[in-house]
C-alpha cells in the first residue's frame, strides 16, 4: 500500500474577508512499513495537512491518494475519547473486530489493564493518551496517523510510550505518519523526516534515516541530531 | 425526611386554612380523601385517570419522537433550520387554546383531534431543545467517528445520542409538565371522560371536594411518573460524569 500526497494549495477565508494561505504545495509519498515524520513550527499547518490526508477536509487544491480499503488508526492531539463509554468500550467501538487476546495484549503493553472499566473522565491525560493509542492500534491500521501523541507528557513517560509505539509499529507493515515538535521523537521513530517551513507550510527538506529503527545507537542518534541542527541553521 | 416534613407542613396549612375559609370554598384534607375513596371504590377515578394517562402518553410519545427528529435535523442541516424556523416560531407562539379549538372544529370532537392538539402544543418546545442539543454536538468526536469509519448507526448510538441525552431528558421533563396541563383543557372542551372532563363537571356544580380529589390524585400520579421514570433515566444518562466526592 502507498499513500501519495500532492497538495497544491489550501487557503482559509478569514473573518475579515481576505484569504489566508495555509499550505504551499506539499508533495510526498509513504510506503507500507515506513514511518514518515512531519516536523515544523507550531501553527505551520501540520494539523490542516493531516485533516486533508484523513479526508476530513475536502476543500483544498491537489490530490491525495489513499487506498480506499486502507484502515485508518488515528491518535489526535487531544485523546478524543467518548466520555460516556468505558476505556474498553472506547477501544471496541472503534475496532469491533479486535479479538479478546489482541485487546488483552494491547492493554498489557500500554499498562491499561487496571483501567478497562474506567470512564475517560477518571483518567489522567497520560492514561487517556495511552487509551487513544490502544484504540488506534486495535483497528490494525494500514495507515497510522499520530498527531503529537506525546505532547505535554513528562520525559520518562514520553520515552516509554515512544518505545511502545516503536514496538507496535514493528509488528506489522503499516504506513505511519507522525507529527511532532520533538526532534528526539522524530529521529528515534522516523524513517524519513519532512522538515516543514512556517506557514504556509512547504517541505523544506526531506531527510532519510538509513539505519533501521531498532539498531540506532545513542552515538548514531547524536550524529543525526547534529546533522539536522546544521541543516536547520543552513535553511535559516 | 425533610421532604416528608415539608409535605406535612403543607397539609397543616391546608387544614387550618380550611377551618377559617369554610368547607364550601376549601374542604379539609379528610373531606377530599373521602371523595377520593368513594370515587376509587366506584371505579370512576381509575377510568378517568386511565383515559387521561392514555392521552398523555400517546401525545407525549408522538410529540417527543417527531419533535426530536425535526429538532435534530434542524440542528444538523442549515437548510432545514432556515426552512423550519418560521414554522417553529409560529407554533411556539400559538396559544394552546387556539390549537385545541381549531382541532375540534376541523377534526370533530374526536380522540384523534384531542391527541393531535396536545401533541402540537408540545412539539415546538421539543424541537427547540433538541435543536440546541444538535448544535452543541462535539465536532471533534464526529471527526473521530469518521476517521475510524464507524458505521452511521453505531456513531449515532454511541457518539451522538449520549450527547443528546441531557437535552432529551430536559425536553421530556418540561414536555411532560406541559402535556399534563394541556390535556385537561382538551378534555374539558371536548371529551366525555378523563380528569379534565371531571373537573369541568365539578366546576359546573361548584363541587370543590370533587375538584380537589381529581386534581390531587392526578398530581400524585404525575409525581410518581417523574420520580419513577424521568429521574432514573436522567441519572443513567449522566452516569459517566465524574461525581463530586
Q: pLDDT by residue (tens digit) across A63-74? A: 888 888 889 999
Q: How far is CA B54 from CA B48, B111, B115, B183, B195, in A?
A: 10, 11, 10, 10, 12
Compute the count of residue pairs across chains A and B with CB atoms less than 8 Å apart: 51
A56 to B150: CB separation less than 8 angstroms, yes or no: no
Q: Identify whether A157 is part of a domain.
A: no
CA of B171 to nearest chain A CA: how many angstroms apart?
20
| pLDDT at residue B161 tops 90 | yes
A93 to B242: CB separation less than 8 angstroms, yes or no: no
What span, in angstroms and rounded, lies between the C-alpha atoms of B38 and B32? 10
DSSP B184-243: HHHHHHH-SSSHHHHHHHHHHTT-HHHHHHHHHHHHHHHHHHIIIIIHHHHHHHTTTSPP
| pLDDT at residue B245 tops 60 | no
Q: What is the pLDDT of residue B242?
A: 65
In this structure, the answer to whether residues A114 and A206 fall within a common structural domain is no
Q: Identify whether A24 is part of a domain.
A: yes
| pLDDT at residue B74 tops 90 | yes
In this structure, the answer to whether residues A64 and A96 fall within a common structural domain is no
Phi, psi of A14 (to 5 degrees): -85, 165
Partners of A29 in beta bridges = A4
* Domain count of the fold of chain A: 2
CA of B132 to nearest chain A CA: how many angstroms apart?
20
Torsional sign, CA B92, B98, B104, B105: negative
In this structure, the answer to whether residues A113 and A22 fall within a common structural domain is no
Containing domain of residue A111, as a range? 75-140
What span, in angstroms and rounded, lies between the C-alpha atoms of A32 and A185? 20
Q: What is the pLDDT of residue A155?
A: 83
In this structure, the answer to whether residues A122 and A232 fall within a common structural domain is no
End residue of a domain, out of A118, A140, A162: A140
Please give the mean pLDDT across all residues of chain B: 90
In this structure, the answer to whether residues A218 and A118 fall within a common structural domain is no
In this structure, the answer to whether residues A63 and A85 fall within a common structural domain is no
* CA atoms within a 13 Å half-sphere pointing along the CA-CB vector of A134: 29
Q: What is the pLDDT of residue B2?
A: 84
What span, in angstroms and rounded, lies between the C-alpha atoms of A154 and A161? 11
Cell triple for B117: 392538539
In this structure, the answer to whether residues A54 and A83 fall within a common structural domain is no
What span, in angstroms and rounded, lies between the C-alpha atoms of A128 and A105? 18
Below-70 pLDDT ranges, chain A: 232-236
In this structure, the answer to whether residues A42 and A146 fall within a common structural domain is yes
In this structure, the answer to whether residues A55 and A87 fall within a common structural domain is no
| pLDDT at residue B219 tops 90 | no
* % helix, strand, coil for chain B, step of 5: 85, 0, 15
| pLDDT at residue B137 tops 70 | yes
Q: What is the pLDDT of residue A70?
A: 86
Q: Identify whether A166 is part of a domain.
A: no
Residue A90: closest C-alpha in chain B: B158
Query: Spelled out in words, what is the top-level CATH class assigned to the domain B30-237?
Result: mainly alpha
Q: Where are the domains of chain B?
A: 30-237
Q: Identify whether A190 is part of a domain.
A: yes
Global ipTM? 0.87
Element (H, E) at A29: strand A26-31
Residue B150: closest C-alpha in chain A: A94
Identify the CATH number of the domain in which residue A17 sits. 3.40.50.300
- Tell me which DSSP letter residue A4 carries: E
- On the 0-12 / 13-18 / 19+ scale of CB atoms within 10 A, B72 is buried
In this structure, the answer to whether residues A45 and A146 fall within a common structural domain is yes
Amino acid at each position: 500500500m502507498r499513500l501519495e500526497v500532492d497538495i497544491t494549495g489550501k487557503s482559509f477565508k478569514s473573518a475579515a474577508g481576505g484569504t489566508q494561505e495555509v499550505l504551499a504545495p506539499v508533495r510526498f509519498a509513504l510506503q507500507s512499513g515506513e514511518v514518515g515524520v512531519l516536523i515544523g513550527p507550531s501553527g505551520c499547518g501540520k494539523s490542516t495537512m493531516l485533516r486533508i490526508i484523513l479526508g476530513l477536509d475536502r476543500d483544498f487544491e491537489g490530490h491525495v491518494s489513499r487506498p480506499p480499503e486502507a484502515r485508518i488508526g488515528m491518535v489526535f492531539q487531544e485523546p478524543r475519547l467518548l466520555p460516556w463509554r468505558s476505556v474498553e468500550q472506547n477501544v471496541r467501538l472503534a475496532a469491533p473486530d479486535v479479538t479478546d487476546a489482541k485487546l488483552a495484549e494491547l492493554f498489557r503493553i500500554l499498562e491499561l489493564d487496571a483501567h478497562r472499566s474506567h470512564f475517560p473522565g477518571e483518567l489522567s491525560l497520560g492514561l487517556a493518551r495511552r487509551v487513544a493509542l490502544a484504540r488506534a492500534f486495535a483497528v490494525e491500521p494500514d495507515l497510522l496517523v499520530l498527531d503529537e501523541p506525546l505532547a505535554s507528557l513528562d520525559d520518562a513517560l514520553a520515552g516509554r510510550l515512544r518505545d511502545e509505539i516503536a514496538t507496535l509499529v514493528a509488528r506489522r507493515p503499516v504506513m505511519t505518519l507522525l507529527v511532532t515538535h520533538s526532534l528526539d521523537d522524530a529521529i528515534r521513530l522516523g524513517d524519513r523526516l519532512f522538515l516543514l517551513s512556517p506557514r504556509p507550510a512547504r517541505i523544506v527538506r526531506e531527510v532519510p534515516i538509513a539505519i533501521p529503527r531498532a539498531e540506532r545507537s545513542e552515538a548514531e542518534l547524536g550524529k543525526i541530531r547534529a546533522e539536522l541542527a546544521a541543516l536547520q541553521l543552513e535553511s535559516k | 425526611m425533610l421532604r416528608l416534613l415539608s409535605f406535612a407542613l403543607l397539609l397543616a396549612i391546608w387544614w387550618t386554612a380550611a377551618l377559617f375559609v369554610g368547607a364550601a370554598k376549601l374542604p379539609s384534607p379528610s373531606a377530599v380523601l373521602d371523595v377520593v375513596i368513594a370515587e376509587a371504590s366506584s371505579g370512576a377515578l381509575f377510568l378517568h385517570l386511565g383515559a387521561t394517562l392514555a392521552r398523555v402518553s400517546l401525545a407525549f410519545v408522538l410529540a417527543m419522537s417527531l419533535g426530536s427528529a425535526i429538532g435534530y435535523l434542524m440542528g444538523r442541516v442549515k437548510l432545514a433550520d432556515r426552512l423550519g424556523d418560521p414554522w417553529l416560531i409560529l407554533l411556539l407562539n400559538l396559544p394552546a387554546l387556539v390549537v385545541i379549538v381549531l382541532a375540534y372544529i376541523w377534526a370533530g370532537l374526536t380522540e384523534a383531534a384531542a391527541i393531535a392538539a396536545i401533541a402540537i402544543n408540545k412539539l415546538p418546545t421539543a424541537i427547540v431543545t433538541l435543536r440546541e442539543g444538535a448544535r452543541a454536538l462535539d465536532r471533534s468526536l464526529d471527526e473521530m467517528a469518521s476517521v475510524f469509519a464507524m458505521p452511521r448507526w453505531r456513531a449515532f448510538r454511541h457518539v451522538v445520542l449520549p450527547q443528546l441525552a441531557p437535552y432529551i431528558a430536559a425536553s421530556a421533563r418540561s414536555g411532560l409538565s406541559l402535556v399534563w396541563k394541556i390535556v385537561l383543557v382538551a378534555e374539558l372542551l371536548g371529551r366525555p371522560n378523563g380528569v379534565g372532563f371531571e373537573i369541568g363537571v365539578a366546576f359546573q356544580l361548584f363541587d370543590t371536594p370533587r375538584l380537589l380529589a381529581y386534581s390531587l390524585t392526578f398530581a400524585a400520579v404525575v409525581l410518581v411518573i417523574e420520580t419513577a421514570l424521568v429521574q432514573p433515566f436522567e441519572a443513567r444518562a449522566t452516569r459517566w460524569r465524574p461525581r463530586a466526592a
